[in-house]
Chains A and B, each alone.
Chain A
């Protein structure tokens, strides 16, 4: 039973397209996150939702829009994809501020 699951695992798409990545957690955690990991393995936070409320919104192009229909789901929609959006996107969840994250297995996005 996967704790944090993301779909799709791989996504190859052309520049200019719009795509979505879905994330679901069955841990009962209140907070969910989107992180971007670049080719050098650097993990950078993008967004966080706590009980469906946006609490972290880093400097991210507004082509990226998160949506949390309920506290177990956090989706990421990306408009007008660019080459520089190619990365691995990780969803994560946490119970509170001090216990760390549980990460999903990532979505490898390649924009061609």
Chain B
């Protein structure tokens, strides 16, 4: 079993939809949780990061962490075609080493 599991998709949604992206993990020591967005042929860029449990909101993006269920989510409101990308979750137990999920490909259809 991988330490971090993420559905590879692709996930296709119409423009304006609310998108929910999720990761599950097995290591209860993970405390730092991040979401990256990667456009085709580009490097990943950091979207959101949270420490421990709870929610964090930034514009159209909301990150949620449920440590009891070992489950994290990223919600995108009012999705746009420009949100079409691969979304990667990453997590760490407080070391420099982050473990990445395999990424979910998102397509937002105009």
Judge whether B94 and A97 touch: CB under 8 Å: yes
Choose among A40, A48, A94, A104 the residue that contacts B43 (Cβ–Cβ < 8 A): A104
Query: Which of A48, A97, A102 contacts B46 (CB under 8 A)?
Result: A102
Distance between A25 CB and nearest chain B CB, rounded to angstroms: 12
For B47, give the chain A residue with the smallest CB separation: A100
Q: How far is the CB of A11 from chain B (nearest CB, A)?
A: 14
Interface size class of chain B, counting residues whose CB lies under 8 Å from the partner chain:
20 to 34
Q: Is the beta-carbon distance between A98 and B46 smaller than 8 angstroms?
A: no
Residues on the A chain within 8 Å of B103, using CB: 41-42
Contacts of A48 in B (CB 8 A): 96-97
Dominant SS at the A interface? strand
Closest to A94 in B: B96
Given known A-B contacts A103-B43, A105-B43, A97 and B96 have beta carbons under 8 A apart: yes
A97 & B43 in contact (Cβ 8 Å cutoff):
no
**B49 and A50 contact, CB distance less than 8 A:** no
Q: Is B60 an interface residue (CB 8 A)?
A: no
Check B95 against A41 for contact (C-beta < 8 Å): no
Contacts of B102 in A (CB 8 A): 40-42
